[in-house]
Amino acid sequence: MARPSRAPERRAELIEVARRAVVDRGVLNLRLRDIAEGAGLSSGSVLYYFPTLADLLQEVQREAVARFCSARELAASTKSSPGERLLAMIRSGLPTGPDDELCVLLYELGTIARRDPVYAARHITLYEQQVRIYTGILEAGAATGEFALTADAVAIARNLVALEDGYGLHLTQAVPTLETATAEAMLLSYARTATTSPLEEPS
């Protein structure tokens, strides 16, 4: 009887090694040899599972996008009212700082999206999924009368995601230009204006 293939397991191991390498070294300084050494393999062995380094990094990006969006959906889904869900979404979207592994990973891989259509497409998916979650919350709040939106729900959602992205870049720099609490307060300020809601914590 033939032994079961270890290819799926080995691919998962390489994705994990590549993920750590991107966070530690940065995507622009990453070489195939770094992945091979981290996995205890030759470069040729890595290419057996992934034809190019770009193919491997695309899988790293796919996993990171799915993990980030799932975490945000979960954070919002555990709350009962639209206001609580909006607060949870805002708090789940900002990096905790330069050491926030998942956010740093997404920003690093986002640098490739400027030149590579495949990376750009997944980066767009990340943006659109977050906009979709925000839009659903905003529309629910408007339908129940909890929110009185000052603009179209999609436009507000897009602004919230864009603000998160902008503040996130500042928060993940080697020397952050602001703190997470400050960025969160500015996001909440915009959300309160856009929804005409105090967005207060439930008592």
pLDDT tens digits, 159-194: 999 999 999 999 999 888 899 999 999 999 999 999
Q: What is the pTM of this model?
A: 0.89
Q: For residue 14, give the 3-state DSSP assignment.
A: helix
Q: Which residue has the higher pLDDT, 113 or 189?
A: 189
Residue 118 above 90 pLDDT? no
- Written as one letter, the residue type at 137 is I
Residue 99, exposed/middle/buried by CB under 10 A (0-12, 13-18, 19+)?
A: exposed
| Mean confidence (pLDDT) of the chain | 92
- In terms of Cα–Cα distance, which of 68, 184, 195, 88 is closest to 141? 195
- Pairwise CA distance, residues 53 & 116, whole Å: 13
Q: What is the pLDDT of residue 202?
A: 62
Each residue's pLDDT tens digit, 6-40: 788 899 999 999 999 999 999 888 999 999 999 99
